[in-house]
Amino acid sequence: MNLNCPICMELFVPLDEVYCTTCGHMFHHRCLLQWLERCQTCPQCRNRTTQRNIFKIYFNHSDVNTVTDNGSLQRRLDRALLQIERKGLEISKSKKEISLLKETKNNFLKTISGLEGKIAQNNHLFTSYAQQMQILRNEVNVLESLRSENEILKWQLAGKVDSNTVYAHEIQTLKNYITRLESEVAFQKSKLSKMATLKNDKFYLKEKLCLLALTYAFITYNIYREGNNLRAPTFSDFLWGFIGKRPKIFEFAKTFFNYKY
């Protein structure tokens, strides 16, 4: 005679812990406890039942081999097929998640590539502005020299206007040149302000690139862990190995942390 648990529909085996309710129905101990946590009734007849009024049943087993009937084998086969179907659905779901992660990874790679292009463009602009700053410094030095000469000329011309009328045109020319240089200085100062703004933008782009690189590393780690469940390293070890194999991302990360911290 084959007896089974009405909750999980599995046959009782000699090693199972079987408990009985006061109404006489038998269940696996773990199945019955899970049921009573949700509902204080007998799973089969719905009589009032609690954990205090259930008791263990002990079977006397014979040494005669039990003959399994066709119905039991069919139930086992059905349960096995159901488990296989569930596993198939889980595998299909995992494949979809991996595909989505790979697509996200590709999008991040494109974003990183675009940010690298912007950073290269900003570096070119910085080089150009540095050259213009050097030219500006040279012009400022010339301006200071002209101002000194102008002061000397003013001192020499004090009280001698009548005798130095010949140089009036040259003095006016110098004044005009000084005015133009002062305008150029104001223009270059506005350029320096723009350079400061570009420098902040460059830092923001590098910071964003580092964050994207960390996100990309986390996605890659999830994909790696899906395929290597038993031997997957910790995320911190994986992250250092990931950054070490990518010198560009490593340089950006090193520059970012040195600059910020």
In the chain, domain spans: 1-61, 95-260
Helices (H), the chain: 29-38, 70-157, 168-227, 235-244, 247-260
Q: What is the pLDDT of residue 227?
A: 67
Element (H, E) at 20: strand 18-20
Q: What is the pLDDT of residue 180?
A: 85
For residue 91, count CB atoms less than 10 angstroms from its CB and return exposed for 0-12, middle for 13-18, buried for 19 or more. exposed
Does CATH place domain 1-61 in 3.65.10.10? no
Q: What is the pLDDT of residue 177?
A: 80
Q: In this structure, are residues 243 and 217 in contact, taking their beta carbons and an 8 Å threshold?
A: yes
Q: In this structure, are residues 223 and 98 in contact, taking their beta carbons and an 8 Å threshold?
A: yes
Q: Which residue is listed with tokens 């320096």?
A: 192
Q: How far, in Å, CA of 33 to CA of 241, rounded? A: 47
Q: In this structure, are residues 197 and 125 in contact, taking their beta carbons and an 8 Å threshold?
A: no
- Indicate yes or no: pTM above 0.75: no
Distances, alpha carbon 168 to alpha carbons 127, 134, 174, in Å? 42, 33, 10
Q: In this predicted model, what pLDDT tens digit does every residue of 117-148 receive, in sequence order?
A: 888 888 888 888 888 888 988 888 888 888 88
CATH class of this structure's domain 95-260 = mainly alpha
For residue 216, count CB atoms less than 10 angstroms from its CB and return exposed for 0-12, middle for 13-18, buried for 19 or more. buried
Q: What is the pLDDT of residue 18?
A: 93
Mean pLDDT, 10 residues at a time, the chain of 261 residues: 84 87 92 91 91 88 56 82 90 90 89 88 86 88 86 74 57 81 83 78 72 73 66 64 63 54 41
